[in-house]
Structure 1
Amino acid sequence: MRCHGAARTDAARKKVALDVQQLRYFVSVAELGGLARAADILDVPQPTLSRQIRALELAIGASLFHRHGRGVTLTDAGNRFLPRAKTILKSVDRALLELHEGDSRLRGHIVCGLTPSVGRMMISEYVRRFNERLPLARLSVINLLSSQLHDQLRASRIDFAILHSPPPASALVAELLGRQDLYLVGRTAVGPDPSWVDVSNLDGLRLVMPSAPHVTRQPLEAAAARHHVGLRIEFEVDAVDSLFDLVAAGFAHTVSTRVALASKWAEPNLVVQRIVNPAITTELYLSSPAPSDLTPLQEVARDLARAVFYSTCGHLTHAIDSKSE
């Protein structure tokens, strides 16, 4: 005859079959805070994602999310399970990498994210050096706006990214690579000096700009608001080459970074004036998981991306000097 205590012990020791893909889905939904957003980033139908999460909950015998109209939040069990799920996935990824490292060389697939202007400057050199340093690895490079790269990082769809402003996720590490000044670009100079322009001179000036949340919009609009400058943004164009075509045609001025200007989208005969009083800057970061969560391949590929950034874009990033507030 078996006592109740033994039965409870057997139940506690019952093996649970965990699906790795379900764990990845769970981590993505937890990081992104909603099924709809995670389904969009993961490119998985939302009903499929919901079923997989529910199957995982049934497998472990616990509810992982509170579901409400604004999305989902982790239950107490979900909060306890999240770091363990990440540990399991890290172990699986390392095991798969080691499985293919019989000759001690680095194999696998790296997905690197870059903003469009940074990508235009460094992709060619990065691909060349990646192929030399990691001949047995595969590389994918995606160009997205910083806000989109944030989402891809949080969903673990990319391994690391060079982007503007650090992502709002504690599990990621953001390393400052450099700062860029913002410049006014147009067919004609604004103000008395063709090399610089006061923020006050932008008051009422016809502008064509990328739509929010592009990197140039937030710092420009914040500086304009602080100094009571009325920005006149008449056109919003996200395609950078088309934006500079409009500027070259004389439709309006725009505001751009040094890296974008060096990317050969802008015609060389345009007038470029650094914005001062106050100087307006943006920051570029290398964002990736914490070092303890990186595989050897990810670490080498990330470090290589940093080196290529400095060799191709480093001369375009700097701290503010001369004209300032």
Structure 2
Amino acid sequence: MDLIQLRYFLGVAEHGGFTKAAAALHIAQPAITRQIRLLEEDLGVQLLLRHSRGAELTDAGRRLVAGAELIFRDMADVRAQVVASSEAVSGCLRIGFPPSVGDLLISKAVRTFRLRYPQVGFSLREGYSHALRDDLLGDRLDVAVITGREDNPLLIPTSLFAEQLWLLELPGPRRRRKPGYALADLAGRSLVQPSRANTMRLLLEDLARQAGIELSVVVEADGIHTIKGLVAMGVGAHVSPYSAISRGIESGEFAGGPIAGLMIERQLVRRADRSVSAALLRFQEVLLEELASAEASSQGAIRVHKEAASLLPG
């Protein structure tokens, strides 16, 4: 059993047949067929059931898929460690983040990083915290910014910053930022909020429940652009992190402002069993630079945690 055979086998398993796998791998089909036959002979088991529509995995084949994927992940991890030890900043970084911090932090950090290290590529994944957590555990991300506190023993969290929640309202004759709101001001307001899959929504409801306030969510929508459109049409107000809505309020496009005492936590999270590459170390440095800049211009809406300094090398 060798790596070439395993790669060919995973290709057939992924594409459901020898013809499609040969096309995807740019290898002649007879070569793939021969290598997998040798693999089956070596192991003494049938890995694939051949039929007119292609091929499907046997129970033994499914076990080999899981093992082969682990082998290739370990190889990538070893490669990253070797690259990190040489301090070469290269490769591809897989970064996950919630929608609200895309413009505020991630886009700026990626731009700055690419100017310094153009040989590094990026795969960016925007999503809510529960989905990003699953992607980290599934080894589909190297690191992610997650809302709330993370206590999974398979993950290593580092507190990045706390962020104020703001209220976004229908634009009126006096379009401007208001000095502030209290949590009690949400009572009686129709709200447009993300579904309960959203961590921030659950945190908001928990805080309101503790204060004896009943929230009235009249529309659930998971896209911030859709939510802003609904607010602009008078469907309801919206509570969101500063980073997601402050620009529209400061520009006068919407009314609104900070809600006193309401803060959410942001953490940078990675797998506990994965090494940190040189590229990821450098990206964390750039991320903290951009975060410090965002804190300075936020008028207190963003507060960087001291723990974030532990992300820096040395």
The CA distance in 2 between the partners of 1:143 and 1:49, in whole Å, is 36
User: 2:292 aligns to what?
Assistant: 310
Check 1:128–1:184 CA distance in 2 against 1; reply closer, same or farther (3 A cut).
closer
- Normalising by structure 1, we get a TM-score of 0.64
Deviation readout 1:98-153 (Å, 9 max, x if unpaired):
77799963221111112112112234422322223322221122211111111111
Check 1:263–1:176 CA distance in 2 against 1; reply closer, same or farther (3 A cut).
farther
1:209-248 equivalences in 2 (<5 Å):
209-248=193-232
- Give yes or no for the alignment of 1:253 onto 2:237: yes
2:128 to 145, 149, 162: 145
- Give the C-alpha shift of residue 214 in structure 1: 1.7
- Give the C-alpha shift of residue 246 in structure 1: 1.4
1:118-137 equivalences in 2 (<5 Å):
118-137=101-120
The CA distance in 2 between the partners of 1:305 and 1:19, in whole Å, is 38
Q: Contact 2:106–2:287 at 8 Å: present in 1 too? A: no
Alignment gaps of 5+ in structure 1: 1-14, 23-46, 61-84, 320-325
Q: Contact 2:155–2:270 at 8 Å: present in 1 too? A: yes
The CA distance in 1 between the partners of 2:225 and 2:189, in whole Å, is 21
Alignment gaps of 5+ in structure 2: 11-55, 305-314
- Normalising by structure 2, we get a TM-score of 0.66
Deviating beyond 4 angstroms after TM superposition, the runs of 4 or more aligned structure 1 residues are 15-22, 47-53, 88-91, 97-104, 263-267
Q: Contact 2:84–2:276 at 8 Å: present in 1 too? A: no
Q: Contact 1:206–1:252 at 8 Å: present in 2 too? A: yes
Q: Contact 1:244–1:266 at 8 Å: present in 2 too? A: no
1:171-320 equivalences in 2 (<5 Å):
171-187=154-170, 194-262=178-246, 264=248, 268-276=252-260, 279-290=261-272, 293-312=275-294, 315=298, 316-318=301-303
- Give yes or no for the alignment of 1:92 onto 2:101: no
Q: Contact 2:98–2:128 at 8 Å: present in 1 too? A: yes
The CA distance in 1 between the partners of 2:111 and 2:285, in whole Å, is 15
Q: Contact 1:241–1:265 at 8 Å: present in 2 too? A: no
The CA distance in 2 between the partners of 1:259 and 1:158, in whole Å, is 23
The CA distance in 1 between the partners of 2:237 and 2:274, in whole Å, is 46
The CA distance in 2 between the partners of 1:48 and 1:126, in whole Å, is 43
The CA distance in 2 between the partners of 1:248 and 1:307, in whole Å, is 34
The CA distance in 2 between the partners of 1:134 and 1:157, in whole Å, is 22
Higher RCO, Cα 8 Å, sep 6+ = 2
- Give the C-alpha shift of residue 155 in structure 1: 0.9
Q: Contact 2:77–2:275 at 8 Å: present in 1 too? A: no
Letter in structure 2 aligned against 1:261: I
Q: Contact 1:150–1:167 at 8 Å: present in 2 too? A: no
Check 1:310–1:109 CA distance in 2 against 1; reply closer, same or farther (3 A cut).
same
Select between 234-243 and 259-268 the one with higher mean Cα deviation: 259-268
Task: Say which SS state the counterpart of residue 197 (structure 1) adopts.
Answer: coil
2:95 to 112, 137, 144: 112
- Give the C-alpha shift of residue 266 in structure 1: 8.6
Letter in structure 2 aligned against 1:252: G
Letter in structure 2 aligned against 1:298: L
Task: Say which SS state the counterpart of residue 173 (structure 1) adopts.
Answer: strand
